[in-house]
Amino acid sequence: MPEGLPSEPPRELSRRLKLASLAIAAIYGVSLVLTNALGAAGWPASPHPGLHNLIGASIVVLSAAMAWVAHRDRLPPARLLDVGLGYEVLVAAGISLQDNLGPVALARPLHDISWLAILIVLFPLVVAAPPAKGLAASLLAASMWPLAFLAGIRWLGNPVPPASVAVLNFLENYFAAALALVPTLIVRQLAADVQKARRMGSYQLVELLAQGGMGEVWRARHNMLARPAAIKLVRGHALGLGRGAPDESLLRRFEREAQATAALHSPHTVELYDFGVTADGTFYYVMEILDGLDLEQLVRRFGPVPPERAVHLLLQLCDSLADAHAVGLVHRDVKPANVYACRKGLKYDFVKLLDFGLVKPAWRDHVGDSSLTQEGAVPGTPAYLAPEVALGSLDVDGRADLYAAGCVAYWLLTGQRVFEAKSAVQMAVAHAQATPVPPSRRAGRPIPPALEEVVLSCLEKDPGRRPATADELARRLSECGLERAWSQEDARAWWQANVAMGTGA
């Protein structure tokens, strides 16, 4: 099984976690009522009924909160899995504390099986974590018992039992943790089989490459062709949609956007192979798989690039934008993470612009509009937001992309964003009102004045003072009068020295 595969499909994980936490809440809720009713009727009660009730009520509240988090399904799968395992440990702590409110039985140790052991064995059937992570969570859950045992002695005055009795009680839960590996491995394998069977159109998912708040990117293979591909999945809730299939107007809009993107001709626009929507409302599109890294990673890992390399990369970005603007498409989310530098055949530092007009959060506010690229509909990323977009203007055209291209150039040359802010709102206000510091003051290296002038012209607040088109920006970049150009020999030498190719990342 590929290492990147998650333990189970995201929606299945949230559904199971919700059901399990609701079941635990119900069990403890009923247990609280019965325990207090039987205690009132004269049955033996806990030595500390108040603490017993407080712990039980805490588990009910914690379980209800876990069910709510799982039901909202807003967390990425990996984060939701970690939250679920943390929930297991907290419930284990509550069970352990209740077990140790009174002294440990001396005559017949292990006469009764602790609910903690049952939780440890059964929880992996609900949350199929990777074996190492699942075992770590089980061992941590088992360790709650000896900690609670010591707390009972220290703070409740429980007598210290013989060492053999204490060890037997400890080992019960650690044996359960070891036994929990069996359901973990079984469910893990079943989940892997389900994942291998997942198909998007004619493509089969093979390996998870990346994931974030909007969705996931997978390596995929075609069922009939040898061509590899990348599939981007965008979960419906990330678009502000409810559960289930999206409405027809949104589907038609997604189809028009995808078809328009697929029709672009620039070699510097990522090639789109296929697109669609699954039955559960997950949008997906299939694109060429790229061998390299995006400009965000490039600068974070290796620092700002020389001016001649920045110009080389920006000229290719301009080619993609010019092609799109010519047919009326505005990207609206140009940023370093969406500009990929890769190897294409024998060429290095070959730029590909990603995510062109596909599936943006603000669609839900404009799904009835017949316009393919609705003015002002997509807010983009705050750190690369044109002032007119930040101010909510409806008069947005390709010059908003050129502003963002200037922000990308600033990042390449300085390793810093044009503006820094603590919140998205503050960042938007800065783009709308603040004057950018010239990149030469922040770069730590000389920047040719002509190049700096071009970058600052892209960052003008008034769109009319920016380059009018991507072609004009490319012309001005070409006329910066740099001492030397970035050649293919330079690019090949840099990549071979710094980046292991062939990863298809």
Tell me what the mean pLDDT of segment 341-357 comes to.
89
Is residue 453 domain-shared with residue 337, that is, in the same domain?
Answer: yes
Which residues in 120-145 are b (16+ Cβ under 10 Å) and which e? bbebbebbbbbeebbbebbbbbbbbb
- Say what the pLDDT of residue 165 is: 83
Is residue 277 domain-shared with residue 297, that is, in the same domain?
Answer: no
Residue 372 · residue 260 · CB < 8 Å = yes
Is residue 88 domain-shared with residue 230, that is, in the same domain?
Answer: no
Is residue 365 domain-shared with residue 459, that is, in the same domain?
Answer: yes
Q: Is residue 505 part of a domain?
A: no
Q: Is residue 426 part of a domain?
A: yes
Q: Is residue 273 part of a domain?
A: yes
Residue 442's Cα: distance from chain center in Å? Answer: 31
Residue 34's Cα: distance from chain center in Å? Answer: 43
Is residue 245 domain-shared with residue 305, that is, in the same domain?
Answer: no
Q: Residue 75 — pLDDT band, cuts 50, 70, 90?
A: confident
The first and second tokens of residue 296, run together, are 């965000």
In angstroms, the CA 121 to CA 21 distance is 15
- Say what the pLDDT of residue 361 is: 38
DSSP-derived pairing of the beta strands 228-234 and 215-222: antiparallel
Per-residue pLDDT tens over the stretch 211-249: 765 677 888 888 777 678 888 887 665 455 555 555 566
Among candidate residues 162, 190, 218, the one where a domain is terminated: 190
Strands of 51-202 (E only): list them: 199-200
Per-residue pLDDT tens over the stretch 256-297: 777 877 889 999 999 988 888 776 667 888 889 888 999 999
Q: Which helix (H) or strand (E) holds 116?
A: helix 115-126
Is residue 173 domain-shared with residue 247, that is, in the same domain?
Answer: no
Residues 6+ apart with CB under 8 A from 285: 231, 232, 258, 272, 274, 275, 276, 358, 359
In angstroms, the CA 120 to CA 113 distance is 12
Q: Is residue 323 part of a domain?
A: yes
Rounded to 5°, angle at Cα 347 from 446 and 358: 85
Residue carrying structure tokens 């990929």 = 340
Question: The domain that contains 423 carries what CATH number?
Answer: 1.10.510.10
Up-side HSE of residue 505: CA atoms within 13 Å toward CB?
14
- Say what the pLDDT of residue 242 is: 52
Among candidate residues 233, 259, 287, the one where a domain is terminated: 287
Residue 256 · residue 369 · CB < 8 Å = no
Is residue 240 domain-shared with residue 301, that is, in the same domain?
Answer: no
Q: Is residue 168 part of a domain?
A: yes
The reply to whether 291 belongs to the active site is no
Q: Is residue 1 part of a domain?
A: no
Is residue 248 domain-shared with residue 325, that is, in the same domain?
Answer: no
Residue carrying structure tokens 């289930």 = 244
Among candidate residues 247, 269, 287, the one where a domain is terminated: 287
Rounded to 5°, angle at Cα 210 from 213 and 132: 100
Least confident span in 157-166, 295-304, 305-314, 404-413? 157-166
Question: The domain that contains 203 carries what CATH number?
Answer: 3.30.200.20
What range defines the domain where residue 95 resides? 10-190
Residues 6+ apart with CB under 8 A from 249: 367, 368
| Alpha-carbon distance values, 50 to 35, 39, 55, 116, 133 (Å) | 12, 12, 9, 21, 35
What is the count of structural domains for the chain? 3
Is residue 351 domain-shared with residue 386, that is, in the same domain?
Answer: yes
Catalytic residue among 73, 99, 333, 355: 333
Q: Is the dihedral of CA 198, 204, 209, 211 positive or negative?
A: negative
Q: What are phi and psi of 48, to 5 degrees?
A: -130, 75
Per-residue pLDDT tens over the stretch 99-108: 899 888 776 5
Whether residue 414 is predicted with pLDDT greater than 70 in this model: the reply is: yes
Q: Is residue 390 part of a domain?
A: yes
Which candidate, 231, 229, 114, 225, places its Cα nearest to that of 170? 114
Is residue 318 domain-shared with residue 268, that is, in the same domain?
Answer: no
Q: Is residue 5 part of a domain?
A: no
- Say what the pLDDT of residue 82 is: 92
For the question of whether the overall pTM of this predicted structure is more than 0.85, the answer is: no
Least confident span in 168-177, 301-310, 357-366? 357-366
Strands of 180-316 (E only): list them: 199-200, 203-211, 215-222, 228-234, 272-277, 283-287, 292-294
Burial (CB count <10 Å: 0-12, 13-18, 19+), residue 176: buried
Is residue 364 domain-shared with residue 278, that is, in the same domain?
Answer: no
Is residue 204 domain-shared with residue 276, that is, in the same domain?
Answer: yes
